[in-house]
Each structure stands twice: as structure tokens, then as C-alpha cells.
Structure 1
Amino acid sequence: MTSVIDITALHKRYGRQTALHSLDMQVQPGTIYGLIGPNGAGKTTTLRTLVDVIRPTSGSVRVLGEDPRRGGATLRRRIGYVPGELRLEGRVTGHRMLDFYSHVSGPVARGTVDELADRLGVDLSRPVRSLSKGNKQKVGLIQAFMHRPELLILDEPTSGLDPLMQREFQAMVREARDAGQTVLLSSHVLSEIQQTADEVAVLANGRIVAQGDVASLRLGSVRRVRVELEETDAADVRRVFSEITGVEALEVAPLDSILQLSATMQGAIDPLIKALARFTVHDLTIEEPDLEESVLRLYGATEAQEEGAR
């Protein structure tokens, strides 16, 4: 199967700063590929090379079987692109702006623009410059999706969208995949990638530190836990929870008439829940760690493996 995107030994340097280090990545047809990492990891630089906004220092990039530097307007019409820093200004209405884009990107089926505008809840009769950041982002999404391109390249596409619209966007992405389109989606929001992507690459400091399907990477296997217990013996609580496999950074502290416990939990959550059943629980919060923490764990594990191999 020919890859829709094929990146080999991609290296990008800005003066003395290296943004990408010998990046290798392949995206297969009809899939949603998530590129995830903290700000400054190299996500936007990677995506911009795919649409020839910037040129690699070395290495090769092929998109839909072509070199972006030579594909020109013909190749760009086969791609729907939302940049990470979307800037839409001007006196024209959303309808007029999208009509202009349709002449650039290719024919748009009748009614498609209005259908997408209704789904995203944006008024295209208003001047673009009067729209909020979130509504400008919606216009950007419409211009990327409206001509049903073979490939969608979306850089932080839900920036400025409320949770309801984020879910609608995720539905649009899944529908595009089901229609045979390929989606490359970058984000620094862990849950967004987990809910949409088939394959994931985790980028840190310009290097891919892990890649594969979402389940195999177990990006959500580490959880942050906060518990309020009816006041009891703090030493006993500490002993019980410190013996649970996977519990780290355990802290136990009394506060007024309750006992506060916080920890990170790696792996199965069941042993923690069974331990909590011994006590009277007033409050329980279990949340995924922030992306920085997840990436650092993967990055640290990768470095340890490389050091061991040496």
C-alpha cells in the first residue's frame, strides 16, 4: 500500500536551532493519523513542510506521491489545510471568502458550505473581521473540508472551539475517514487524539519518541488521583496505598476533619479502587495527566532504552 504521506530523514534547522531531527513518518490511506506533542515539539514545522510553506534542510517528503516543492497548485487542490496560526481578516463576508477559496481549491458540491456552517454554528453572512476567534476557526475548517480533499492536514484545528463544537469536529473527521479521505491531525490535547486517531506519533524536541496505535502506546495509562477521606490514621493510609503497584508521588496530609491523599497511578486502576473501599471517601477525582507529563514519560523511557542498547 502506497503511503499518502512519506517522510524520510526530515531535518530542519533555523540558524543554530534544530527543529526536526531525522524524522521518519508514514501515513496510510484512509486513516486518521495523530501528531501529538507539547508546544515547540516540531509539529507545525513538520506540517508546513508537507504543504511547501517551508523547505527542509535535508531529507525527503512526499505527499500523495509527489514532492510538495514541485506539486504546485495541482497538488494543493488535493489537500485541505488548516494552519496552526489561522489569520482571517477583511471586510468580506464568510460566504464571499469561501467562494474565493473554492476557485483556488476546486469545485464544491452545492449546499456543502451551508451544511458545514450549520454543523459548526457559524454565521457566514457576517464580515470575517467581526467574527470571534472561535468562529474564524470554523471558517478555516469549512475551507479545508468543503471540497472533500483526498488529504486533510489540520494543525491544532480545535483551537478556540467550545467543547460542543470540538465533538462536532471529531465527528466530521471520522466521517472524512469513512469516506476514504486521509487525515493528519496535530494537537497538544491528549484526549482529542485518543478519541479520533487510528495511529499516533508522539513528538518531543523534534524527534518521534513513540508511535503506533493509540491502545498500544497507552498514553492514558498514567492517572492523577486526588481523594478526600474521613479522618483516620495518616500512617495507616500511607502504608496501604504505598503498597499498591503503580502508585507514585504519594502524599497524605490532614486538613480540618478530613485526610487528603494525592498520587499518580500507572497501570490498572482496580487495585486503588479496592483499597479505597476500606475507608469512607468524601471526594474522588481521577484525571489524565497533562500532555507534558505523558510525553516526558515516553521520552524518558525511550532514552533509557537507547542508553541500555549502547
Structure 2
Amino acid sequence: MTTILKVQGLQKRFGKVQALSDVTFNVEAGEVIGFIGPNGAGKSTTIRILLGIIKRDGGNAEIFGKDAWKDSFEIHKKISYVPGDVSLWGSLTGGEIIDLFMKLHGSGDKEKRDYLIERFELDPRKKAKGYSKGNRQKVGLIAALSVDSDLYIFDEPTSGLDPLMEHVFQEEVEKIKAAGKSVLLSSHILSEVERLADKVVIIRQGEIVEAGTLDELRHLTRSTVTLETEKDVAKMLNVKGVHDFVQKDNQGIFSADHKYLNDILVEATKLGVKKFEAAPPTLEDLFMRHYEG
């Protein structure tokens, strides 16, 4: 696969604050990377370095094989970016701003622009000063999605959008991916990342603490098992690999270590299994594993 974005050992300090101490990850062609972490973890600082807005203190950051700082002008010709709070020119209409962004980028599809305006239910004739936060986000998203880019960088792009518009955005990202384009998606909406991302990068206090596909990361946490048996299900309480056992009527609900699932099943069959459901950990489980406490 072709590496579109490469970050290696990225470092950034603001005065006495070490914002980034060791950030390393790649984005390959046609890949959607979910970049997650709480406020202050270093997501936006990393993105600002990638965009050439601020200069890194150490490490490397490359897009399309070019240096993110030195070659930012060339890089910007092939990327689209939407921040979490889009600022607009209040005296211009939404439509005028979208056209201006497309012109500044140097490419754009007017038919796609009109299609996206309809999909996102934006009134393009209204002055930007009268727009809500959600409508400002729509302007940024429509402008970014109306141009042909090889890399799309979204930093909390659906902030302020209602669930219906979030769904529209997700569908458009899936189309980008199907077209072989790459996406770096920073989002607090973990269900959104779980639906769209091929891989997840979790950042904590300026360092990457986990990276990989959801399937690769899920082995790190336990599945949630719901078990109903003919005999007393409470006998599962002391089975190796069973944790946090709770009994509700005839059912036992517990967390199970993956490496002991076979042993757990063997013990469950001795009790006469009537129901056995095992749910893998969600992205939220993986995320909270690094931030609980």
C-alpha cells in the first residue's frame, strides 16, 4: 500500500508544557484512521503540525512524501480540511463562501457542491453571520467534500450537527473511502469512528497508547457474556476467566478473558446452556481502558 501520511516521533512543546512527546502513526491510501483522545491529549496540535500551521520541535511529519512544514503549499493542493469550529466571513452568504473555498483550493465540482448543499439541507443564500454553529460546520464540510483531494483531515467535523446530518457525513466519508481516498478523522463520537475507521489511533498526554484495527485492539479487553442455564448459573462465579459476575433471574452477566472462553464454554455446558451471548468490547471500552481514573 502507498503511505499517504507518515508521522514519526513527533514532538511539540508550548513553554513548559510538553504537548506532544512521541506521536507515531501512518495513513495508507484508501484508509480511514480514527484519531481519538480527550481534549488536551494532542490531537489538534498534531493536525496543526500536519497542516503546516505550526512547526514541530522534533520528529518527522510527511504527507505525500513531502515535509509537512517546508512543503505545505504543495501539500495543500491535494488535501481538504475541516476544523471543529468553522469561522466564516459574516457578510458573505454560505454559497459564496463555499465557492471561494473551492476557488482557493483550485478545483471543485459544482454539481457535487449542489448535491451536497441539498443533502446537508443548507440555505446557501443566507448570510454567514446568521448561521448557527451547525450550519457553519455544514459550509466547511460541503466545501471540503466538493473538491477532489487525496487526503481529507477532519478535526471534530460533526460538532454542532444533529444526528441526521452526522449520518449524512458518515455516508459521504464512506464514498470517499470507496473512491480510494484517505481520511484522518479526529472525533469524540466513538460510534462514528467505530463505523468508519479501518484503524484506530488512541492518543493520551501527547503519546500514542494504542494503534491498530478494532479486531487487533479488542484482544486487549474482555467480552461481555450473557449466559442462561438450566442449572444454577451462579456456579460460573468461580470459573477461571470470569470477572464481575452479576446474576439477574436465571441469567449470569459477566466479563470474560478471551483466552479462557473455551474453558468457560466447557463449564457452561455442564449446567445446560439455554442462552449464550458474547459481545466484543466496543471502541468506548477500549478508549475508557486508557482514561478510567
Same fold (TM over 0.5): yes
How is 1:79-158 mapped onto 2 (pairs within 5 angstroms)? 79-158=79-158
Cα shift at 1:86: 2.4
Q: Decide whether the 8 Å contact of 2:42 with 2:205 is kept in 1.
A: yes
What residue in structure 2 maps to residue 15 of structure 1?
15
Give the partner amino acid of 1:79: I
Cα shift at 1:249: 4.7
CA distance in 1, matches of 2:141, 2:185: 12
Give the partner amino acid of 1:98: I
CA distance in 1, matches of 2:129, 2:224: 41
Label 1:105 to 1:163 Cα distance change in 2 as closer, same or farther (>3 A): same
CA distance in 1, matches of 2:238, 2:96: 64
Cα shift at 1:49: 0.7
Give the partner amino acid of 2:94: G
Tell me the C-alpha RMSD between the 2 structures: 3.6
Q: Decide whether the 8 Å contact of 1:61 with 1:67 is kept in 2.
A: yes
Give the partner amino acid of 2:26: Q
1:83-104 residue CA offsets vs partner (Å, 9 max, x unmatched)? 1332235021100111111221
What residue in structure 2 maps to residue 215 of structure 1?
215
Q: Identity of counterpart residues, as a percentage?
A: 35
1:245-291 residue CA offsets vs partner (Å, 9 max, x unmatched)? 665455789xxxx9xx99767667x97x999x989xxxxxx997784
Which ranges of structure 2 fall in alignment gaps of 5 or more residues?
227-231
Label 1:93 to 1:265 Cα distance change in 2 as closer, same or farther (>3 A): farther
CA distance in 1, matches of 2:165, 2:68: 32
Per the normalisation by structure 2, the TM-score is 0.80
Label 1:90 to 1:19 Cα distance change in 2 as closer, same or farther (>3 A): same
Q: Decide whether the 8 Å contact of 1:250 with 1:263 is kept in 2.
A: yes
Cα shift at 1:63: 0.9
CA distance in 1, matches of 2:220, 2:89: 39
Label 1:219 to 1:162 Cα distance change in 2 as closer, same or farther (>3 A): farther
* Greater Cα offset, 65-74 or 179-188: 65-74
Give the partner amino acid of 2:287: V
CA distance in 1, matches of 2:210, 2:179: 28
How many residue pairs end up in the alignment? 283
Label 1:205 to 1:174 Cα distance change in 2 as closer, same or farther (>3 A): same
Per the normalisation by structure 1, the TM-score is 0.76
CA distance in 2, matches of 1:59, 1:153: 20
Which ranges of structure 1 fall in alignment gaps of 5 or more residues?
227-235, 280-285, 301-310
Q: Decide whether the 8 Å contact of 1:44 with 1:84 is kept in 2.
A: no
Cα shift at 1:197: 0.9
What residue in structure 1 maps to residue 44 of structure 2?
44
Cα shift at 1:152: 0.2
What residue in structure 1 maps to residue 286 of structure 2?
294
Give the partner amino acid of 2:65: G
CA distance in 1, matches of 2:187, 2:153: 12
Give the partner amino acid of 1:122: L
What residue in structure 1 maps to residue 77 of structure 2?
77
